Amino acid sequence: MPSIQLYDTTLRDGSQKEGVSFSVVDKLNIARKLDELGMHFIEGGWPGSNPKDAEFFDRAQKLTLTNSQIVVFGSTRRPKTKAEKDTNLTTLVDAGAEIAALVGKSSDLQVTRVLETTLEENLSMIADSIKYLKAQGLTVFLDAEHFFDGFKSNADYSLRCLTVAAEAGATCLVLCDTNGGALPDEVTLAVEAARKVTTVPLGIHAHNDSGVAVANTLAAVNAGVAQIQGTINGYGERCGNANLCSVIPNLKLKMGVDCITDAQLAMLAEVSHYVSEAANLIPDASLPYVGGSAFSHKAGYHVAGVTKWADAYQHIDPTQVGNQQRVVVSELSGRRNIIYKARERGLDLPLQGKETQQLLEQVKLLESRGFQYDNAEASFDLLVHRAKPDYKPPFELVDFMVIIEKRRRPSTRKSTEEMLSEAIVKVRVGTEVMHTAAEGNGPVNALDQALRKALLQFYPSLAAVKLVDYKVRILEESVGTESQVRVLIESSDGVEEWRTVGSSTNLIEASWLALADSLEYWLLKHKASDNPLAKS
């Protein structure tokens, strides 16, 4: 196989995805990650289009990169102007990068209908622009925009754009499926045709509007392209770009193209996650290779298989891409899921035990009531413990009351309205019953405060535990305000995080269940030395 160069455009094309806006610092941090991953080229942005990208190039000059080169993106000169006078081009030189990716039209209809110039002038624009940048000392890649569409309407012209760019000194000719409408067979034919007219290395830049950007990219590799452009997680406008998190492992693990090292490949899931966090998007669990569900098993039948042979239902060893096998506990679960999950959590259960059967039934019952344990491992651990006949919970709720009041309070200047929440909690610890009250900025907060007030008297170390995230989801099965609600709570003690779940038709009760689980889990896990039950 030919050697392949990886070209990442997450920072430019990827940032075109709706809802994504990277700060300059985000972009610099992502560039460092991509460098560690072994990306050969990182397209930083289009400095002519916005000041943020200009600042990125300014600061990127101070980045110390081991594997990657920064590329600046821009377009060919405007029609009927001189290259050296065109700000499109002069800003590229000013950016200070050594390589420029220059987008030029390579479809006849785009030239006449959109650019509104002649086919000859477009060829001059490509040639002049490349020659100008070369004369300024830059290496130039041509992004042949709309190449595959152009190849269908007027193949000779699209190929002519490539040969003109090659003669002008372009180092790589990147064939772009700008509208994402091509299919793999069409890509193969067009790449083969391009290879016949030039010896300059080719590249592929595929958009995913037909859902085949990754397939098109791999087809192009088989047809002989040397440079692959794409984005992390497939981010990009409309339906996105070719997802490098799929392309790279396909190349390396399936096609024998050694584009990055084994150690770099093992960072892939982390990089994917990192970029989604920077983009402030929830990581897509169903992404191939890197998603949280990519190697998870839910059906009991599959779990029975992977328990016997890890590869029974997976196409690669997930650790190769830094991911892991995961067994999902759900209402579809068989007994083995429960045992596997419990073992994964460090809890041992006998395969044929009555406890396991009871636990399975308990999980099914609770899931039918809206609980879900996929993302609430701490609540799952508690279920396992509670299934044991000798389990003694560190505390038990006797009852609680929450008061919410909207009050108009006259003040010196003008009357103000305020919402008041107060909770009264009765909790049993050992043989003692504690009765506490607390106010909060909302009913859940008041409940949390009152419960802590009671428990801190027995377990002072519980003060380290904080609630860090609180999510409410209305479950689809029911309608309107009568809906079943599921509450997911994430807690932290500064060292580790854990998640718990509660479900009820009452939001306060669902919150209480998740909250109580959170504290019970921590007390159980730490068997706090101040735990009066642990002492006994």
Look at the block and give the residue holding tokens 């019952």. 365
DSSP letters for 323-342:
---EE--STT--HHHHHHHH
State the minimum distance, in angstroms, from the CB of residue 133 to Zn ion.
20
Nearest residue (CB) to Zn ion, 13 versus 209: 13
Residue 13 or 377 having the CB closest to Zn ion: 13
- Interface pick for Zn ion out of 4, 7, 12, 13 (rule CB under 5 A): 13
Question: Which region, left, alpha or beta, applies to residue 14 given φ > 0 means left and ψ of -120 to 50 means alpha?
Answer: alpha
Distance of closest approach, residue 46 Cβ to Zn ion, in angstroms: 11
Judged by CB, which is closer to Zn ion: 15, or 503? Answer: 15
With contacts defined by CB under 5 A, name the span among 10-18, 61-69, 251-259, 421-429 that binds Zn ion: 10-18
CB 104 to Zn ion: min, Å = 13
Q: Is 8 in the site for Zn ion (CB under 5 A)?
A: no
Least separation in angstroms between residue 164's CB and Zn ion is: 21
Which token pair is 6? Answer: 């990886």
Kindly state the greatest CA–CA separation across the chain.
92
Helices 300-308 and 335-344: crossing angle in degrees, nearest 10, is 50
Nearer to Zn ion, 149 or 520 (CB): 149
Helix/strand/coil for 283: coil
Contact segment (CB under 5 A) with Zn ion among 13-21, 251-259, 288-296, 315-323 equals 13-21
Residue 182 CB, shortest distance to Zn ion, in Å, is 13
Q: Are 290 and 267 in contact (CB under 8 A)?
A: no
Closer Cβ to Zn ion, 101 or 245, answer by number? 101
Say which residue the tokens 């650019």 belong to. 115
Which of these segments, 9-17, 341-349, 388-396, 441-449, binds Zn ion (CB under 5 A)? 9-17
Q: How far is the CB of 205 from Zn ion (least distance, A)?
A: 6
For Zn ion, which is the closer residue by CB, 14 or 249? 14
Question: Which residue, 141 or 295, is less far from Zn ion as judged by CB?
Answer: 141
CA proximity to 134, closest of 144, 142, 122, 123: 142
Q: Give the shortest CB-50-to-Zn ion separation in angstroms.
A: 17
Stretch that binds Zn ion, among 7-15, 25-33, 46-54, 292-300 (CB under 5 A): 7-15
Instruction: Map the footprint of Zn ion across residues 161-220, applying CB under 5 A.
Output: none
Q: Rounded to the nearest whole angstrom, what is the least distance from the CB of residue 489 to Zn ion in the complex?
A: 41
- The DSSP secondary-structure symbol of 179 reads T
Distance CA 308, CA 340 (A): 11
271 three-class SS: helix
Nearer to Zn ion by C-beta: 177 or 422? 177
Q: What string of H, E and C letters represents the secondary structure of 377-433?
A: HHHHHHHHHHCCCCCCCCCEEEEEEEEEEEEEECCCCCCEEEEEEEEEEEEEECCEE
- Residue facing Zn ion at closest CB distance: 13
# residues contacting Zn ion (CB under 5 A): 1
Beta bridge pairs of residue 420: 405
CB of 145 to Zn ion, least distance (A): 8
Q: How far is the CB of 6 from Zn ion (least distance, A)?
A: 16
Q: What is the footprint of Zn ion within residues 42-81 (CB under 5 A)?
A: none
Could you give the CA distance from residue 70 to residue 437 in angstroms, rounded to a whole number? 60
DSSP, residue by residue, 76-88: PPPTTS-GGG-HH
Number of Cβ within a 10 Å radius of residue 222: 13
**Binding segment for Zn ion among 6-14, 129-137, 341-349, 392-400 (CB under 5 A)?**
6-14
Q: Phi, psi (5° rounding) for residue 428? A: -105, 130
Q: Of 13 and 108, which CB lies nearer to Zn ion in the complex structure?
A: 13
| Residue with smaller CB distance to Zn ion, 13 or 53 | 13
Per CB under 5 A, contacts with Zn ion among 119-158 are: none
Binding range to Zn ion, per CB under 5 A, among 11-19, 436-444, 445-453, 501-509? 11-19
**Are the C-beta atoms of residues 387 and 355 closer than 8 Å to each other?**
yes
Residues that bind Zn ion (CB under 5 A): 13
